[in-house]
Structure 1
Amino acid sequence: MKFGQFVLGLLLGGIIVFFLLKYSTNAMKSQVIARETLADTLSASAKWRWPDSLDAMVAAPKNHRLVYEDSNVRVLMVALDSKKSEPIHTHRWSSIMWIAKPIVPCQINNYKEARGTLVKTDSLLIKEMPINLGQLIGPETPTSITNLSNSNGEAYRIEFKKDFKN
């Protein structure tokens, strides 16, 4: 009976170790993919072609309030009142967006330059939005958001001016 328990213990231990290794390997792969994605978006921001006048703090100051800034990061509090639209603006750097108070529904409008003026290219209606969850976002070309709800929205955006190591 003791030999049977020993074999059963070895078998169960092997299964547990197998799953632990499998899931820790998947978590490590996810971190590598996230770092590669961030590196791609950071290198894309080096090729930035939009004027500083479209920066969120310049073009939409009522919606973007500076919380903290240094040579590596800029932290913005983003607010959008009910039934309002923010001005067209850009976000040059990759960032992590954390939505504290979602606005649903809302409409995201994207723009491109055509003959020296910005023209709306498409719109996306958002009916659901994550709350209290950080989300990696690449640099954003000219965009604006329209709050279609009856409540105000609030989010925080941590913009990475340089590559970072974690």
Structure 2
Amino acid sequence: MKTYLLSPATRQLALIGGVSCLVGWVVGSASGLQAAALAAAATAPATTPAAGPWPYPDSLDAVVAAPQFHRVLFENERVRVLEVTVPPHTREPLHTHRWPSVLYKEQTGRGRYYDATGALVHESTTPYRKGPDLVRARWQAPEAPHAVENTDEVADRFVRVELKQ
């Protein structure tokens, strides 16, 4: 197997190209994706109130409450694609994610996950990982108010495809 060393700019272009393909697939196959999302949601643990309207204010939306960490790459009535970057030794402000999503991890390391009260919910002590040992994509249910802290020496980087419909 060949190994290619890419410059940061080339990696960014590759990531954007991959996200563009993913968005095209999501938009182009919404009915199949919706069925898969519903099936995944049925087995995924709930992290938000079960039914009814979204109970949290729009001011807690990730893009509004933590814009320095969440950048919109693409948005329409069906999906919103976010680039999420949490620099080393940094904690995001409290925020929510209203829609179920698929998270694609570019790289990740150690960190902490806090609930709305600031209580520590989970701590990852796994050192920085990138490459084949990293689980790249996973389903994520909507998330109630939370904050993520990166306690590692490298930035956490994700692409989050939120399914609005």
TM-score (norm 2): 0.66
* Higher percent of residues as strand: 1
State the SS of the aligned residue for 1:82: coil
- Counterparts of 1:62-77 in structure 2, within 5 Å, are 62-77=68-83
Which residue of structure 1 aligns with residue 87 of structure 2? 81
CA change 1:46–1:68 in 2 (3 A) is farther
Give the ranges of 4+ consecutive aligned residues of structure 1 lying more than 6 Å apart after TM superposition.
none
Percent of aligned pairs sharing the same letter: 30
CA change 1:160–1:39 in 2 (3 A) is farther
Flag structure 2 segments of 5+ consecutive residues without an equivalent: 1-34
Q: CA RMSD in A?
A: 2.6
State the SS of the aligned residue for 2:67: coil
CA distance in 2, matches of 1:83, 1:100: 18
Of the three residues 115, 123, 126, the one matched with 1:110 is: 115
Which residue of structure 2 aligns with residue 124 of structure 1? 122
Of the three residues 36, 39, 47, the one matched with 1:36 is: 39
Which residue of structure 1 aligns with residue 151 of structure 2? 148
Please say if 1:97 is aligned against 2:95.
no
Of the three residues 125, 131, 136, the one matched with 1:133 is: 136
State the SS of the aligned residue for 2:115: strand
Contact 1:80 1:86 in 2 (8 A): yes
Deviations along 1:14-52, whole A, 9 cap, x unmatched?
xxxxxxxxxxxxxxxxxx8863332687x9475310000
Instruction: Specify the structure having the higher radius of gyration (Cα).
Output: 1
Contact 1:45 1:93 in 2 (8 A): no
CA distance in 2, matches of 1:34, 1:49: 22
Matched AA of 1:124: H
TM-score (norm 1): 0.66
Which residue of structure 2 aligns with residue 14 of structure 1? none
State the SS of the aligned residue for 2:91: coil
